[in-house]
Structure 1
Amino acid sequence: RGGEHLYFTAPAGVRLKCSANRLGPHVDTRAWGGYVVAPGSTTGDGAYEVTDDAPVAPLPGWLAERLTEPNRPAVVPLAPVRDGTRAARTALERECAVIAATTDGGRNNTLHKSACKVARFVAWGDLPRDVAERAIQGAGESTGLPPAECRTTIRSAMDWVIAHATPRQAAS
């Protein structure tokens, strides 16, 4: 819608991902798994045309650096949970694994869903809240989510589920 598309060749051996607003407002990038509307295409906004037919240039190093995913912290094995029932411990461990395996484009949503699933065990008294929150926090941070974002998401999920949890007898 009035913007430009700039095309670059990706550096060898690097698998860049798509991004939105990472480089700045209204600057999106498309790479592995992404697509763009290219010259020759027509949309409701008009036809896409080549404005400069220069050869495609290599992606500048400074730009490649900004688009390369930072190394994620190593996933630290969770300390065994010694509180709560066997089902609660199993649910916590499984949901932490689900969270830790999540990549960009869904990390916060997965964190929230998993925290909600575990929160019912907290509401039922099968798992201490602090134990669940610490484990889920570690899993969330291992994906690269900021600690404050993890805390806010986990608290929100826990608070809501604990306040609205179906009693265990009705959930069975």
Structure 2
Amino acid sequence: MTHHPPSAPLMAALTAAERGWHIFPLRPHDKRPALHGETVCPGIGDCAGGHRKWEDRATIDPDRIRRAWASLPFNVGIATGPSGLLVVDLDMPKRRSKSSADTPCGVTTFRALCERAGQPVPATHTVRTASGGAHLYFTAPAGARLANTAGRLGKLIDTRAWGGYVVAAGSITPTGPYTPVNPMPPAPLPEWLHSLLAPRQPSRGLMAVPASSRASRYATAALRAETATVRDARHGERDATLLAGARALGRFVAWGDLPRDVVEEALQSAGECTGLSERQCRSTVRSGLNWSIAHNSQRRTA
């Protein structure tokens, strides 16, 4: 029997899995997941007990990987959360206008961030992206469940953790390949970066909301209950639960029982704790509050 050597995409997938990184297939020459979506889920195999998204189906099992890559040269996605990773994505400006030439790239912005913090640029596992940017791989702190962020560290700097993924080295897109620059093992996430990326806590805290004319006991209890519900939301229901919580609490904002900024901060923190991105949480919370405030201009009487 003739044995053919593994293809380059398969080798990239197996190499990532050997590092303990949970991987899943991306479309050939693309960055999008190759797995089916919830609307067309067949309900069999991995999804026999209900639809499982790419983060749940990512694996380190070499047999499953070989079977998955046997038919097509899929690119390789790394589910950062299950892999215990936090990846800092340093992007390049979009080449859409002449002004983009004057925009600092993510690498430059990150170096400036390190300098302001009085810290050296961390040495860690690094991959050059297809656009010419860089992925800096770090191991996430034990017990921490960090979420994705977009722009929190600076312009053109995103992070990928729970709820996110990155394209692995060895993958190729029409823009170019993803290639290793520093193959060393990922370094632990520096404490100063962790402090910047940890979920933001409400500045006044749930327990600090007074039961007064500005926040009745009932409104305060509702705030605590809704944020607890958001934190406990299951994967696939997180955004809908966050929206429902914002709509439920918006009436108390409209009636003057709760300050809007307290509600926004509490829901933002709860949403980020589930793995939703900072940007997605902010958009969902604002949408839900705006809708509720518009529909609850007058207090209902019993």
TM-score (norm: length of structure 2)? 0.37
8 A Cα contact 2:33 2:77, kept in partner:
no
Structure with the bigger percentage of helix: 1
> Cα offset for 1:114?
0.7
8 A Cα contact 2:223 2:263, kept in partner:
yes
Matches within 5 A, 1:1-172: 24-28=32-36, 34-35=47-48, 57-59=63-65, 66=79, 69=82, 72-73=145-146, 79=205, 80=207, 81-82=209-210, 83-165=214-296, 167-170=298-301, 172=302
8 A Cα contact 1:75 1:100, kept in partner:
no
Runs of 4 or more, structure 1, over 3 Å off, are 28-33, 67-71, 73-78
Report the Cα distance in structure 2 between the residues aligned to 1:75 and 1:134, rounded to whole angstroms: 10
8 A Cα contact 1:96 1:139, kept in partner:
yes
Sequence identity, in percent? 35
What amino acid is the match of 1:94? A
Aligned residues: 136
> Cα offset for 1:57?
2.0
> Cα offset for 1:32?
9.1
What amino acid is the match of 2:145? R
* Consecutive unaligned residues in structure 2, runs of 5 or more: 1-16, 38-42, 50-61, 67-75, 85-143, 147-197
Higher RCO (C-alpha under 8 Å, 6+ residues apart) = 1
> Cα offset for 1:67?
7.7
Structure with the bigger percentage of strand: 2
8 A Cα contact 1:101 1:143, kept in partner:
yes
TM-score (norm: length of structure 1)? 0.62
Report the Cα distance in structure 1 between the residues aligned to 2:44 and 2:201, rounded to whole angstroms: 32
* Consecutive unaligned residues in structure 1, runs of 5 or more: 1-10, 37-55
